[in-house]
Chains A and B, each alone.
Chain A
Amino acid sequence: MGIDLNLVGAKGAIAEEAEGKWGMVIDQDLCTGCQACVAACAMENNLSFVGEEDAGYGRTQHWIRIERFWEGAYPEVKATAFQPMLCQQCGHAPCEPVCPVFATPHSPAQEINLQVYNRCVGTRYCANNCPYQVRSFNWRDYHLEPFHANNVDGQLVYPLHNQFNPDVTVRRRGVMEKCTFCIQRIHQAEDKAKSEGREVHDGEFTTACAQACPANAITFGRMDDHESLVSQLAHQDRGIKHLEELNTLPRITYLKEG
């Protein structure tokens, strides 16, 4: 059996197929930078509002963010396309081998990069080693911060706790977190499909960011199914992968200026 040297990782293990199971395509020509995906992701995944002080330290929690870049020098600057950046669910994730407690393993079943909150001890090595800078750390128990609470007769009442998604863990202090490709929705769809005795079909479910995108710039689906919409979009000529030269095998394809 021949070994494709492009797929041999730093630890000598042969990485899984470059395509992976789940994939995403982001069309930067369609993206208007409206941040709807950012808001939808925060609602779906119980992301914390960190407050003014911690935001000043750069501790904001976003699993997806919109990056803006400029070309040229003032006054001839030209804004380039908005670039939504989220966890690329690398096939060769740089965050995985640096975790001393194996809290960010690669899921063999879903072929994405997991974060196991109850195993994480908060060394933050993974965030330091992530070339996409998409991991965020819980510096406090943000959901219990008093600035979320109403003071009702001396009792702190947290109205925002009522909108927590019960399918997603509320992260506590001292753990790292990142985009999960909405694994709770993957499980829900797989469970439903299994109870009806069929496979999950393309477009049956999507991630929160893709669902919220008004310009349909984000597409999510099975990459190993070559009939699926996301697979066909990803194989267009204008597809690029970010920091591909690091051999991280990102699962997200960006479409830009074909």
Chain B
Amino acid sequence: MIRNFFEWVMGPMGRIAVLITALSLFSLTAFGIYQTQQPPDQPIEFTHKLHVGLGIQCLYCHPGALRGPSPGLPTQTKCWGCHQQMEKTFDPNFPELSEKLVGYIERNEPIPWVPVAQVPDFVHFTHRPHIAAGLNCENCHGDMTQVEIAENPQVLNMGWCLNCHRERAANDPEKLVKLTDCGTCHY
């Protein structure tokens, strides 16, 4: 039984079958990994490149980063604060604005942005101390003037966090203890 199977595998049909199986497994894996690296679909195709390029500060739309754990994602009224004064908003050539944004305003609905830079539930990250330590947004989130739809410049994993923590506390043993303590992030 087993011998028959091996003979079939070593034959021409068997080799083709093995090749097809291996190829499909490989391409499925590659496709899966590719999918995890794609930025998620956003309700409005908001371009960071354009807005940051215009000189709008990160903290204008994400003010929570200065004072708490979560930077926050802008509501429709924050967009409207600028966009209601712009002709482009109502131009039918820009359906993202004239249909989608105006639609959210008319329905008085918050825009369901999909957060991109996220950590798991068991990690408690706070923006405030990181900004207070002199980090700029682009140190972790990359240069948003080059990014159309928000995406992650790097994987936000623990090794990456700890590398920076160890580097920055290298000269201060007390700070190093605090910054490499499990209980600082995991509780």
The reply to whether B183 and A114 contact each other, CB–CB distance below 8 Å, is yes
The answer to the question of A167 belonging to the interface, with a C-beta cut-off of 8 Å to chain B, is yes
Instruction: Enumerate chain B interface residues (CB-CB to A < 8 A).
Output: 67, 120-124, 126, 128-129, 132, 177-178, 181-184, 186-187
Between A and B, 22 residue pairs with Cβ closer than 8 Å are: A107-B182, A107-B183, A108-B177, A108-B181, A109-B177, A109-B183, A112-B183, A114-B183, A117-B122, A118-B122, A169-B121, A169-B186, A170-B121, A180-B183, A180-B187, A183-B183, A183-B187, A187-B124, A187-B126, A187-B187, A191-B126, A195-B67
Cβ of B121: which chain A residues have Cβ within 8 Å of it?
Answer: 169-170
**C-alpha spacing A184/B185, complex, angstroms:** 10
A39 CB → nearest B CB, Å = 21
**C-alpha spacing A184/B177, complex, angstroms:** 18
B39 CB → nearest A CB, Å = 25
Cβ of B132: which chain A residues have Cβ within 8 Å of it?
Answer: 194-195
**C-alpha spacing A167/B126, complex, angstroms:** 10
Closest to B181 in A: A109
Find A194's partner among B122, B123, B129, B177 (CB 8 Å cutoff): B129
**C-alpha spacing A114/B182, complex, angstroms:** 8
The 9 closest A-B pairs by CB, nearest first: A109-B181, A107-B183, A169-B122, A109-B178, A114-B183, A118-B122, A183-B187, A116-B186, A108-B177
The reply to whether A110 and B181 contact each other, CB–CB distance below 8 Å, is yes
Cβ of B187: which chain A residues have Cβ within 8 Å of it?
Answer: 114, 168-169, 180, 183-184, 187
Cβ of A107: which chain B residues have Cβ within 8 Å of it?
Answer: 181-183
B164 CB → nearest A CB, Å = 17
B33 CB → nearest A CB, Å = 22
Cβ of A112: which chain B residues have Cβ within 8 Å of it?
Answer: 183
A193 CB → nearest B CB, Å = 12
Cβ of A184: which chain B residues have Cβ within 8 Å of it?
Answer: 124, 187
Interface 1/0 per residue, A98-133 and B, CB below 8 Å: 000000010111101010111100000000000000
**C-alpha spacing A194/B177, complex, angstroms:** 17
A108-B177, A191-B126, A191-B128 known; A118 and B120 CB under 8 Å?
A: yes
**C-alpha spacing A113/B54, complex, angstroms:** 49
The reply to whether A195 and B120 contact each other, CB–CB distance below 8 Å, is no
| Given pairs A109-B177, A187-B184, 15 additional interface contacts (CB within 8 A) | A107-B183, A108-B177, A110-B183, A114-B183, A118-B122, A119-B182, A167-B124, A169-B187, A180-B187, A183-B187, A187-B124, A187-B187, A194-B132, A195-B128, A195-B132
Cβ of B178: which chain A residues have Cβ within 8 Å of it?
Answer: 109
**C-alpha spacing A167/B121, complex, angstroms:** 9
**C-alpha spacing A150/B52, complex, angstroms:** 45
**C-alpha spacing A95/B178, complex, angstroms:** 22
Cβ of A167: which chain B residues have Cβ within 8 Å of it?
Answer: 124
Cβ of B67: which chain A residues have Cβ within 8 Å of it?
Answer: 195
The reply to whether B129 and A116 contact each other, CB–CB distance below 8 Å, is no
